[in-house]
Amino acid sequence: MSNHEPPGHPSAVAVGTGAAPGRGAGPARAAARLLASETALTFRRPRHLAMLGVLAVVPVLIGVAVRLVAGDGDTGSIVAQVAGNGLVLTFTAFFVMLPLALPLAVSVVAGDAVAGEASQGTLRYLLTAPAGRGRLLALKYANVVLFCLASCTLVAVSALVAGLALFPAGPVTLLSGTTVPFAEALLRAGVAVLYASAGMAALGALALAFSTLTENPVGAISATVVLVVVSEVLAAIPQLSALRPFLLTSWWNAFDGVLRAPMDTGRMGTGLLVFAGYGVISGAFAWARFTSRDVTS
């Protein structure tokens, strides 16, 4: 695919044209322009659009499956809950997709961020901009965070639409057995989206760090995905349960804290700290590597 793209990379062009007269407009505006062009590029790529399409379809498939099963009388609890209220499908979708589907999509975008430019030979054009490498990396990461937020929101919205189309709506029963009004449940779903996005953003930072290490985007993407899978395998081994709190993957599903009464902020707070820890370390490594490496392509 990279062969078919013109060598004048759109974002490189945007920087070239934007930076020269933009000196007086302030660095903030230049940064915003660069981020906008990065984001537009990310969300215009057929590959990324296809991925987002899959992410949007999965909740619908879960909803249809539940709808088909729900008639069979005595079914499992989550199935029964989804069948009772469409909004629950949002949480079920996250429960199903957070372990692999969403991380996969985020890895593809973040792992490609720097290595993809390097492999296409557009990285050095980007670096001709007077923005500085550190700022360029920050913009790349901001773009990854936006993608995390967008993909998690997309999953939630798709699940919500499918849920409301297939099942009745109304007050939602939480895991604690407490019933909350629809609006509050919607708010709780919003918190779950933000928490899931934070978890994905931590993985995005890791993938971006891998991306600065190589000129081969597939390498960075697969390294991230392998790490996710290995973490999940390690977490499943009881003898290694001591490792569990230190693995990024163990904290993603803590979003179910929003479904408890009172909301389990303690566990989610720890989860956010873990995400921040992964983000800071990965970010520092990515910065050190990206600002000190020789860019030849």
Partner 1 sequence: MRNGARAVKWGVPIAAVAVVAGVAAAGPVIAAVQGDPSLPDRTARELVADATRKWQSGQLPPMSGTIVQTASLGLPTLPVAGDVTSPIALLAGSHQAKVWYGGPAKVRLMVPGEMSETDLIVNGDQVWWWNSAANTATRVKGAPPDGKPEATPYASAITPQQAAEEALRAAGGDTEITVGKDATVAGRAAYEVVLTPKDAGSLIKDVRVALDGETLLPLRVQVYAKGTAEPAFEVGFDSVTFSPPAPENFAFTPPLGAKVEESTVPSFAHGPHGKDAIENAAPRVVGDGWDRVVVASVPERLTQDMAATADKAESWRGSNGVTSLTDGLLKSATPVRGEWGSGRLIRTKLVSVLLTDDGRLVAGAVTPEVLYAAAAQK
Residue 3, token pair as written in the block: 């062969």
26 touches partner 1 (CB under 8 A): no
Q: Output 75 or 216, the one with its CB closest to partner 1.
A: 75
| Interface region with partner 1, contact rule CB under 8 A, candidates 12-20, 60-68, 89-97, 123-131 | 89-97
265 touches partner 1 (CB under 8 A): no
Which residue among 48, 63, 87, 91 contacts partner 1 (CB under 8 A)?
91
| Interface region with partner 1, contact rule CB under 8 A, candidates 13-21, 105-113, 118-126, 280-288 | 280-288
261 touches partner 1 (CB under 8 A): yes
Binding mask 106-145 for partner 1 (x = CB under 8 A): ----------------------------------------
Residue 260, token pair as written in the block: 């408890």
182 touches partner 1 (CB under 8 A): no
Which chain residues interact with partner 1 by CB under 8 A? 76-78, 80-81, 84, 91-92, 95, 171, 173, 175-179, 236-239, 241, 246, 253, 256, 259-262, 264, 266, 273, 277, 280-281, 283-285, 287-288, 291-292, 294
